[in-house]
Every structure is written in C-alpha cells, then in structure tokens.
Amino acid sequence: MKFLGIIPARYASTRFPAKPLAMLGGKTVIQRVYEQVAGILDDAYVATDDERIEAVVKAFGGKVVMTSVHHKSGTDRCYEACTQIGGAFDVIVNIQGDEPFIQPSQLQSLQACFKDPTTQIATLVKPFSADSDFETLENVNSPKVVLNKNMNALYFSRSIIPYQRSIEKNDWLKNHTYYKHIGLYAYRVDVLREITSLPQSGLELAESLEQLRWLENGYTIKAGITEVETIGIDTPQDLERAEIFLREQNTKN
C-alpha cells in the first residue's frame, strides 16, 4: 500500500494565530512536523491556505500545495490537496500541523491498522497514565475515546468517558484505563472522498469533534495504541511547554 502524508496548516487560528510559523527550538513548528514525517511515508506535503506558510515550507525544502481558504476542517483540506497532488496512493494520512513531536513509531502504528482490509479510517490513542492527576483527565482540550473489543472507536468526547458511578474521582485513573485521542488520522482514498461530502452532524457540532460526524454516519474508526508522549500546540502556553519538552528530549539524546 502507498501512503501519502498531508499536513494541513492554516494561518488563522482563534487560540493561536500564525501557529505554524511559531518558533520552537530554532525552527518553525511546521518545519518540525514536516521533518518528523518526511521519509517515513511514501510522500508528504504541507497543505495551506496562506502564502506566508507556503514560502516558509519552500524555504526549508519541503513540499507544499495551496488550498482553499474556505475549508472548515483539516480533513476537507486534505482531500483537496490529495486531488491536486494525484498519484496512485491508497491511504491519505492527515498529520496535524501542530504536532511537532509526532514519532515514526506512531505513523507505523497507524499504517499497521490497514493490514485489516476492513479498516476505513484509522487514528491513534494513548492510555492516560494511572499516575496522572484528575485535572489532566478532565482537560477538555484532550479528547477521550472509548473502544470496542475490535479496537474500533465507540465514541469520542471532551468529557470524561466512561463515568465511574461508584468510584471516587481521584481513583478513576487507577481503576480504569482511559484513552487520550491523538489527532492523527488515515483514510482510504475513497472513504476520504465520501466523508468530505457529509454535512456536519449534531454530535460533531455539540462536541466540536469532526470524527463524530463519521461515526454518526456509520463509518468505523480503527485505533492503534501508542505509548509515546507528544505535546500538541493549541495555545501559546502549549508552545512554552513544548520548548521545555524539546530541551528535555535533547538532553536525553
């Protein structure tokens, strides 16, 4: 199978404008994401709607494609990009442009989901540590997911799921394995075409999680498990945390 990585990156962001161009350890965030992906998949492109991002990607030698400013989601941007890029790809991998610490092992776990011929969409989850505090589990910017026995997602939520009725909240993480959703997706090309034509759904609008649109319309989402800790950058405060994380990683290496 051939895998095409696409990194959607837009300039306008409510919580962190110009986020892809923010500096992290001497490089832009978008360059760090691209360098983590390039060479692991069969090919990789940044998909943007902004000439400033396009210029930066070209300057560091990356591949980039310009897409519409009207897309409401990274998935929609991925589909336009893949139609422009062409090529005989079987699976499109959507890598968040704010995940500079994405690891090769995580991409490989995602690819492995497609060894199952019934897999339509794949994503990654990471178990919350039993030693984490309740506030970490409660963070609405860290969506949770529950899985069935076949490792397919039952539901994603910004709330804590499942709710443990008879257990003290401070013991929830010790009593049950909770999964954090890692914002990395892969879709068979025909499935990507189909899901981008779906109207927004009630669950998606309620939680502001586009993957709920796919579940609500009957698509299955296979989950691969990763133990790798990464830091997504949603806010300027996250960037500060990422700087610390990067320094710690460099010290270990």
Residue 129 Cα distances to 178, 183, 184, 193, angstroms? 8, 18, 20, 36
| 223 pLDDT tier (thresholds 50, 70, 90) | very high
Q: Are 67 and 49 in contact (CB under 8 A)?
A: yes
Per-residue pLDDT tens for 36-94?
A: 998 899 999 999 999 999 999 999 999 999 999 988 888 999 999 999 999 899 999 99
Q: Is the pTM of this model over 0.85?
A: yes
Whole-number percent of the chain with pLDDT over 90: 83
Question: CA-to-CA distance for 139 and 215, rounded, in angstroms?
Answer: 23
Question: Which domains does the chain possess?
Answer: 1-100 (3.90.550.10), 104-181+194-227 (3.90.550.10)
pLDDT at 14 over 80: no
Nearest to 185 by CA among 103, 108, 75, 76: 75
With 0-12 / 13-18 / 19 or more C-beta atoms within 10 angstroms meaning exposed / middle / buried, residue 142 is middle
Contact indicator for 202, 167 with CB cutoff of 8 Å:
no
Contact 143, 209 (CB under 8 A): yes
pLDDT at residue 183, as a whole number: 84
Contacts of 107 (CB under 8 A, 6+ apart): 5, 37, 40, 41, 93, 95, 184
CA angle centred on 135, ends 252 and 251, rounded to 5°:
10
- Could you give the 3-state DSSP secondary structure of residue 96? coil
Tell me the per-residue pLDDT of 169-217, one tens digit each, with 9 for 90 and over. Answer: 999 999 999 999 998 999 999 999 999 999 999 999 999 999 999 999 9
Distances in whole angstroms, Cα of residue 184 to Cα of each of 1, 47, 134, 179: 18, 15, 24, 14
Element (H, E) at 151: none
